[in-house]
Amino acid sequence: MRIVLVGFMGVGKTSIGKVLSKRLNLDFFDTDIEIEKEYGSIENIFESFGEDYFRNLETKVLNSIIKKDNLVISTGGGVVIRNSDVLKELEKVVFLDSNVENIYNNIKNDTKKRPLLKDCDIKEKIETLLNKRYNLYESVSNIKIKAENKTVDEISEEIILKLGVI
Ligand code: S3P
């Protein structure tokens, strides 16, 4: 089994992925963590080589992880930009959906690994990017879960029920 979590920055993909993988006894991978392990900090990659270069690394890492089985994969919020075709082929892609206010509150003090939110009006940028990407998240996913005002455990349980994987 292979479960992939997609959604905007700050919706909780990493924390939920960790809990979900434990509950289902699956391995856990996070595309951002894999990128940082192999290529250094996301902040530095963006600063030294730019977003396009980061997207290349992200695509490369995703393609190597999804070859594996029995795992939960948390993805970076922009993974859908380049990889919607690959994601559409998978059977258990979960869109974690949250509103701008909630996302803003989750990440306003945590922009270090999110260079796209540097030197700008964070809330406005979240709104613009979320609008741009929303259809992509919907089109690659098999189920959508509302992530605001719920605990990580509650969301994990909802994913399990909706996917029917226990
Ligand atoms: C990005 C999201 C980040 C990280 C990078 C780019 C994006 O991951 O991959 O800063 O374009 O939405 P999170 O979704 O874990 O914040």
Backbone torsions φ then ψ of 96, nearest 5 degrees: -90, 115
On whether residue 134 sits in a domain, the answer given is yes
- Which tokens in the block code for residue 155? 């969301």
pLDDT per residue of the chain (166 residues) written in tens, 0 to 9: 999 999 999 999 999 999 999 999 999 999 999 999 999 999 999 999 999 999 999 999 999 999 999 999 999 999 999 999 999 999 999 999 999 999 999 999 889 899 999 999 999 999 999 999 999 999 999 999 999 999 999 999 999 999 999 7
Mutating to test ligand 1, I would choose from 6, 13, 32 the residue with most ligand atoms within 8 A of its C-beta, which is: 32
On whether residue 72 sits in a domain, the answer given is yes
Query: Amino acid letter at 5?
Result: L
At residue 166, the pLDDT reads 77
Domain interval for residue 88:
2-150
Contacts 24+ apart (CB under 8 A), 63-68: 65/29, 65/31, 65/34, 66/2, 66/4, 66/90, 68/2, 68/27, 68/29
For residue 8, the ligand 1 atom closest to its alpha carbon is 14
On whether residue 85 sits in a domain, the answer given is yes
On whether residue 7 sits in a domain, the answer given is yes
- What is the pairing mode between strands 143-146 and 2-6? unpaired
| 83 to 111, 158, 159: CA distances (angstroms) | 24, 25, 22
Number of domains in the chain: 1
Q: Whose C-alpha lies nearest to ligand 1, atom 12?
A: 77
- CA of 9 from ligand 1 middle (Å) equals 5
**pTM of the entire predicted model:** 0.98
On whether residue 6 sits in a domain, the answer given is yes
Beta-bridge partner residues of 135: none
CATH of the domain at 99: 3.40.50.300
Closest CA to 113 of 38, 33, 57: 33
| 99 to 10, 22, 52, 102: CA distances (angstroms) | 10, 27, 27, 5
For residue 115, the ligand 1 atom closest to its alpha carbon is 10
Mutating to test ligand 1, I would choose from 44, 52, 112, 113 the residue with most ligand atoms within 8 A of its C-beta, which is: 113
Name all residues whose Cβ lies below 6 A of ligand 1.
9, 13, 32, 42, 76-78, 113-116
